[in-house]
Amino acid sequence: MSHALPVPRERGMGHAAALEAKLKNRTAKIGVVGLGYVGLPLAIEFAKKGFATVGIDLDKTKISSLQKGKNYIQDIPDAHVSEAVKNGTFRAQSDYANAGDLDVIYICVPTPFTTNKDPDITYITSAAESLAGSLREGQLVILKSTTFPNTTEGSVLPIFEATGKKVGEDFFLAFSPERIDPGNQKWTTANTPIVVGGVTPNCTRLAVLANQQIIEHVVAVSGPKVAEMEKLLENIFRSVNIALVNELAKLCDRMGGINMWEVVDAAATKPFGYMPFYPGPGIGGHCILIDPFYLSWQARAYDFETNFITLAAETNESMPFYVKDLVFKAVAELPIRLRDAKILMIGVAFKRDVDDTRHSPAIRIMELLIDDGAHNIDFTDPFVDRLWVKGRDFTAKPFDEATIKSADIVIISTDHTQYDYEFLVRNVSCVIDTRNATKHISDPKLREKIVLLGSGHKSGLR
């Protein structure tokens, strides 16, 4: 008589089963650490689905705003925040009190780099240490902050296991990188596919289930390192391709007679094997600028140089210097010195139609011009009211005839769709267009005023 062998089960199934039940019946309590561009939309999505959600952020200004139901993230409808606060599904706090009551906790804190471009994951480790103080059995922690491979297992996991609890048995840990595109109305937190990699199979399964409560398509991978690396690949892919067209744009200006924007549009007619990327004044935001340096830093620990990736990052970082040189050449054609020239920046956000100024190339251009003696710089931006650059407080000017006509040189650094670019060109003597925002202007007299980056004119000049 034969007997069937028992099916092996991963230890900790009791805690896993309990959490699974809570997620499925929506009684799980959700916590989100870091209420910025990633964390707040995530928290509000859970609150909209009826989960009791707690947002944690050390910035008391943010907490005060949220406690009043006031939103500060452009991509979330204001009503979603106020309704979540009003109905009690979302509350915000500036400490880790009662973190032990939470069932699923997302870490969505910043990951900057140092002045030497080395990764700074102190926000991650600080959050992990704060959570470890109240870590209880059955909790799931999901790290979303963009970082380098082995952060989850090499830096976060030891902090939690120092409590004496075992991952995959007593608590669960996974990495699921953010995929936020500020200003994108089509792809949001709810409908953008995401990747999840857990430290153990139980961790992966529960992290997938947690994310499926608010996200349509969740893809499981074999572990955190794969998820961490794929996030870097996403952003380095963009960095490399943007660097390619930026370098070719400068070459077109050097050669003369070839408009790089026309070249890209022509290539984009190919229905396979190509996707268009466009030149510009540099790259900004959090991920695309930083991620190449995160990976190159880690690669050096393995005696490996990411030459190709680093060169692309350096090419993109050189673009604000190139724009500065275009300004110098334009000033040379005017009967005025740089220190006396009135320069107006059109747009200072890092990309079109958003209010995010993190690592904006426009700000870098302003810094370079100030360093080289420019004294009269102003900006206008429908989404940004104030800037602090080089110890100076800048307040946005209105986009009107008086502001434009008072400028000697205008730099289109961010191509917001709200602007009337023909009106702009008509009312100024020189426009340096780094985004091809003036492409629809066909009047030859107006086009004579435009210095277009990558236009094919010698050094970008008319």
Residue 237, in any domain of the structure = no
48 and 93 share one domain: yes
416 shares its domain with 280:
yes
From 45, 52, 55, 44, select the one nearest 81 (Cα to Cα).
44
Mark whether 428 and 311 lie in a shared domain: yes
Give yes or no for residue 121 having a pLDDT over 60: yes
Q: Any idea which of 184-188, 216-220, 315-319 has the lowest mean pLDDT?
A: 184-188
Q: What is the pLDDT of residue 35?
A: 97
Residues 286 and 152 in one domain: no
Q: What is the pLDDT of residue 246?
A: 97
- Predicted local confidence at residue 457, as pLDDT: 73
225 and 262 together in one domain:
no
Look at residues 231, 250, 278 and tell me which one is the last residue of a structural domain: 231
Average pLDDT over residues 274-294: 90
Same domain for 213 and 265, yes or no, is no
Whether residue 1 is predicted with pLDDT greater than 60 in this model: the reply is: no
Measured distance CA(249)–CA(176) in Å, rounded: 36
Provide the pLDDT for residue 8: 42
Residue 252: active-site member: no
Does any domain span residue 3? no
Q: Domain span at residue 334?
A: 258-460
Q: Are residues 127 and 28 in the same domain?
A: yes
Q: Is the pLDDT of residue 3 over 60?
A: no
Q: Residue 199 has what pLDDT?
A: 98
**Domain total in the chain:** 2
Q: Are residues 297 and 338 in the same domain?
A: yes
Does 458 score more than 60 pLDDT?
no
Q: Is residue 383 part of a domain?
A: yes
Mean pLDDT of the residues in the chain = 93
Average the pLDDT over 145-151 and give the result: 95
* Residue 1 belongs to some domain of the structure: no
Structure tokens at 306: 């990411």
pLDDT at 221 over 80: yes
For residue 381, tell me if it sits in a domain: yes
Per the model's pLDDT, the better-predicted residue between 1 and 113 turns out to be 113
Predicted confidence at residue 182, as pLDDT, reads: 83
Residue 114's pLDDT is 84
Full-prediction pTM beyond 0.75? yes
**Averaged pLDDT for residues 147-164:** 97
Inform me whether the pLDDT recorded for 277 exceeds 50.
Answer: yes
State whether 86 and 186 are in the same domain: yes
For the segment 394-438, what is each residue's pLDDT rounded down to a tens digit? 999 999 999 999 999 999 999 999 999 999 999 999 999 999 999
| Domain at 87, CATH number | 3.40.50.720
Q: Which residue has the tokens 């996200």?
A: 215
Which of the following is catalytic: 108, 203, 252, 287?
A: 287
Is the pLDDT at 364 greater than 70? The verdict is yes
Q: In this predicted structure, what is the pLDDT of residue 135? A: 97
2 domain-assigned: no
- pLDDT tens for 29-44 read 999 999 999 999 999 9
User: Is the Cβ–Cβ distance between 345 and 310 less than 8 Å?
Assistant: no
Same domain, 265 and 210: no
Cα 293 to Cα 290: distance, rounded to the nearest angstrom: 6
Any domain includes 6:
no
The structure tokens 């870590």 sit at 135
One domain for residues 137 and 77? yes
**Domain final position from 196, 231, 266:** 231
pLDDT given for residue 288 in this prediction: 81
Q: pLDDT-derived band of residue 116, with 50, 70 and 90 as boundaries?
A: confident
Quick one: pLDDT at residue 113?
85
- Indicate whether 287 and 213 sit together in one domain: no
pLDDT tens for 224-264 read 999 999 999 999 999 999 999 999 999 999 999 999 999 99
Please indicate, yes or no, if residue 4 is contained in any of the structural domains: no
Q: Give pLDDT, residue 11.
A: 52
